[in-house]
Amino acid sequence: MGRIGNIIDRKSKQDAKKAKIYTKLARLITVAAREGGGDIEYNAALKNAIDKAKLQNMPNDNIDRAIKKGTGELGSDQYEEFIYEGYGPGGVAVIVEVLTDNRNRTAGEVRHAFDKNGGNLGSPGCVSFMFDRKGQIIIEKDDNIDEETLMMTALEAGAEDFASEEDAYEIITRIEDFNSVKEGLEKENYTFIEAKIAYLPQTLAELQSEEDIKKMNKLIDMLEDNDDVQEVHYNWEQA
């Protein structure tokens, strides 16, 4: 299935979890507004968080409320950003990005998810060297999209790489070029499945046993069901 297949498959599962996703996105928006102010013209992180929310059809009222929490107009939620690294079953490398108001609670819950599903939480840096931090834009394939035109538009906007998979196109950027590439594609009316800064695995790992596959799926589900978890990255290649 590959990395893009993984994204599309998980995307369909996430559609059934809108309320939980909105909670996560609200935190992301709140933190971005708290750290850089409530004006998207001067706060790229906030603009990206709002764009991400709009991809999930998050209501504008929810977005506005999250911004006001970040700027202090509706009180203040003190969320902190942390990254946890570990190994899933079969040695699959896993990175977990969290936003939490209680680090001890979140650490315990993340550790429990790993322990329960044949993995183990590791020390900072234990797996991140296996990933590259990049901008990633996913566009679903469509009869109206000309692949060569899309590729040239992306590359001219500053994209680093372009790949055509079975169901989607993947555009990779350097972190510093992410916003300009995204805006260049938006101007040409391309619609994204995903547009984010991500940890992309340098190589993909396979799981051989059905038991390990079952545990890995459950580990991902447990982590993604946690309100404190923003993103889960891994180097598992699903068949």
Which phi and psi (to 5°) does residue 208 adopt?
-90, -35
Domains 2-71 and 80-128+203-234 share a fold: no
- State the CB neighbour count (10 A cutoff) for residue 121: 18
Give the tokens for residue 57: 């059809």
Picking from 85, 84, 82, the residue whose alpha carbon sits closest to that of residue 102 is 82
What is the domain partition of the chain in residue ranges?
Answer: 2-71, 80-128+203-234, 130-201
- State the CB neighbour count (10 A cutoff) for residue 109: 18
Region 202-228: mean pLDDT is: 94
Q: 80-128+203-234 sits in which CATH class?
A: alpha beta
Task: Reply yes or no on domain 2-71 having CATH 1.10.10.200.
Answer: yes
Collapsing DSSP to helix, strand or coil, 14 comes out as helix
pTM: 0.83
> Do residues 104 and 122 touch, judged by C-beta distance below 8 A?
no
Reported confidence tier of residue 74, pLDDT bands at 50, 70, 90: confident
When computed from its CA atoms, the radius of gyration of the chain, rounded to whole angstroms, is 18
Q: Is the pLDDT of residue 238 over 80?
A: no
Region 131-148: mean pLDDT is: 94
CATH superfamily assigned to domain 130-201: YebC, transcriptional regulation domain (3.30.70.980)
Q: Is the pLDDT of residue 69 over 60?
A: yes
